[in-house]
């Protein structure tokens, strides 16, 4: 009798059952993994990503470095006249500018009604993020050499560190502008009370260095304006100040590009955005060697009025 046949059938049946069980376990594992993946994806979709900060403030031996800067708009940039903005190369040698060029439109045509021009034929140079012990004295010396007064938008924490530079700015007759306490690009998202506290703290530090100093303007870091930010600045007696010409000197493109963009882009009434702090600003300082003689030969370059005659 063949007893081995029965045993073989039993073993075959057991192997079949084992294989089927293994397949079942595998399918269950796949289903569980899929469910866990779906649950994780659903949970991530319900948790908002942390807001990206454009201020990126770091500290160094010389003070904070600010990686602002003006929000990038995917739409073509437009001039105050409403025409597409062009690069210096596209604009030609003089960019279609000069003392006879038409001035920009009204001074309060910027974001949320901010001021973008001087309101007259005067051209205004503005310097943000200072004061800085390395670059601000160089800027002041060049402005003095060319007999030009400018507007300095100062950061509160820097004014607190360098009150001597605030005094130097005021002593040369430049206009002072509040630029928030610590270059908070997201300040406009905070409550009106928090905004007011920030701006008052900054103005107090400026006036600690220069008592009774007129602070007629406020400029929001990165140009990240909101309606409540504009309202609070106005309530505190400061004009919200934007700009007309931005050579992106904060990105350190080199003195040549900075100077070319400014010289080609300025028209009567322009407010030029430059930086004397917040990073490596030697390119801006070097660009002023061309910017100042070029602009003063074609325009009247002056500080924005501070309300004091």
Catalytic residue ranges: 128, 275
DSSP 196: H
3-state secondary structure of 24: helix
Q: Which of 71, 306, 304 is nearest to 206 (CA)?
A: 306
Whether the Cβ atoms of residue 223 and residue 111 lie closer than 8 Å to each other: yes
Q: Which residue has the tokens 């081995």?
A: 4
Count of CB atoms within 10 A of residue 59's CB?
8
User: What does each C-alpha distance from 172 to 138, 204, 210, 213, 277 come to in angstroms?
Assistant: 13, 20, 12, 13, 18
User: What does each C-alpha distance from 51 to 3, 7, 101, 185 come to in angstroms?
Assistant: 76, 69, 42, 12
Pairing of strands 151-154, 175-178: parallel
**Rounded (5°) CA angle 289-260-144:** 25
Q: Which of 173, 181, 151, 167 is nearest to 211 (CA)?
A: 167
């Amino acid at each position: 009798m063949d007893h081995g046949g029965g045993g073989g059938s039993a073993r075959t049946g057991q192997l079949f059952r084992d294989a089927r069980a293994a397949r079942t376990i595998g399918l269950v594992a796949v289903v569980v993994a899929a469910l866990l993946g779906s649950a994780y994806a659903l949970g991530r979709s319900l948790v908002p990503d942390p807001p990206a900060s454009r201020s990126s403030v770091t500290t160094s031996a010389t003070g904070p470095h600010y990686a602002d800067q003006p929000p990038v708009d995917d739409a073509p940039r437009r001039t105050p006249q409403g025409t597409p903005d062009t690069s210096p190369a596209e604009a030609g040698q003089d960019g279609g500018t000069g003392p006879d060029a038409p001035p920009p439109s009204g001074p309060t045509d910027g974001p949320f009604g901010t001021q973008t021009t001087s309101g007259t034929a005067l051209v205004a140079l503005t310097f943000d993020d200072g004061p800085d012990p390395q670059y601000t004295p160089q800027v002041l010396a060049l402005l003095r050499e060319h007999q030009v007064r400018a507007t300095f938008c100062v950061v509160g924490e820097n004014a607190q560190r360098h009150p001597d530079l605030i005094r130097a700015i005021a002593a040369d007759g430049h206009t002072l502008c509040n630029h928030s306490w610590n270059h908070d690009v997201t300040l406009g998202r905070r409550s009106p009370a928090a905004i007011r506290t920030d701006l008052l703290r900054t103005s107090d530090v400026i006036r600690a260095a220069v008592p009774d100093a007129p602070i007629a303007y406020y400029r929001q870091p990165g140009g990240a304006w909101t309606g409540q930010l504009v309202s609070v600045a106005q309530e505190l007696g400061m004009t919200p100040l934007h700009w007309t010409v931005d050579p992106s000197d904060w990105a350190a493109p080199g003195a040549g590009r900075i100077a070319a963009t400014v010289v080609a882009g300025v028209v009567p009434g322009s407010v030029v955005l430059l930086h004397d702090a917040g990073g490596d600003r030697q390119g801006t300082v070097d660009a002023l060697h061309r910017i100042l003689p070029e602009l003063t030969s074609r325009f009247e370059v002056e500080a924005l009025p501070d309300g004091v005659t």
